[in-house]
Amino acid sequence: MSSNSEFLQIGEEVAAALGEGRPVVALESTIISHGMPFPQNLDMARTVEADIRGQGAVPATIALMHGKMMAGVSGTDLEELAEKGFSAAKASRRDLAGLLAGKRLAGTTVATTMQIAHLAGIRLFATGGIGGVHRGAETTFDISADLQELGCAPVAVVCAGAKSILDIPKTLEVLETNGVPVLGYGTERFPAFYLRDSGHGVDYAVADAGEAASILQTQWALGMGGVLIGNPILEQDAMDADYINGVIARALSDADDEGIRGKDTTPFLLQRIFDLTGGESLKSNIALVRNNARVAADIAVALAGRRA
Rg (CA), the chain: 18
Residue 180 exposure: Cα atoms within 13 Å on the Cβ side = 28
Instruction: Build a one-symbol-per-residue string for 156-175: x at contacts with ligand PSU by CB under 6 A, - elsewhere.
Output: -------x------------
Give Cβ neighbours of residue 4 (< 8 Å, ≥ 6 apart): 10, 15
Binding segment for ligand PSU among 143-151, 220-228, 233-241, 245-253 (CB under 6 A)?
Answer: 143-151
Look up residue 30 and give its amino acid: T
Rounded Cα gap, residues 98 and 102, in angstroms: 6
28, 49, 68, 90: which one is catalytic?
A: 28
Q: Is 163 a catalytic residue?
A: yes
Q: Work out what residue 270 binds among Mn ion, ligand PSU, none; the CB cut-off runs from 5 to 8 Å by kind.
A: ligand PSU
Three-class secondary structure assignment of 104-147? CCEEECHHHHHHHHHHHCCCEEECCCCCCEECCHHHHCCECHHH
Half-sphere exposure (CA, 13 Å, Cβ side) for 258? 14
Q: Which is nearer to ligand PSU, 273 or 304 (CB)?
A: 273
Give just the sign of the alpha carbon dihedral 173, 34, 299, 221. positive
Interactions with Mn ion, residue window 129-148 (CB under 5 A)? 142
115 binds, among Mn ion, ligand PSU, none (CB under 5 to 8 A by kind): none
Q: State the Cα torsion 16-18-23-27 to the nearest 10°.
A: 90
- Which position among 61, 92, 187, 291 is part of the footprint of ligand PSU (CB under 6 A)? 92
Active site residue 84: no
**Is the CB of 31 or the CB of 227 nearer to ligand PSU?**
31
Judged by CB under 6 A, which of 73, 270, 299, 300 binds ligand PSU?
Answer: 270
- The yes or no reply on residue 31 touching ligand PSU (CB under 6 A) is yes
**Residue 190 near residue 158 (C-beta atoms within 8 A):** no
The pattern of x and - marking residues 180 through 219 that bind ligand PSU according to CB under 6 A reads ----------------------------------------
Residues with catalytic roles:
28, 163
Residues found near ligand PSU in the complex (CB under 6 A)? 28, 30-31, 35, 92, 109-110, 128-129, 131, 144-146, 163, 263, 266, 270
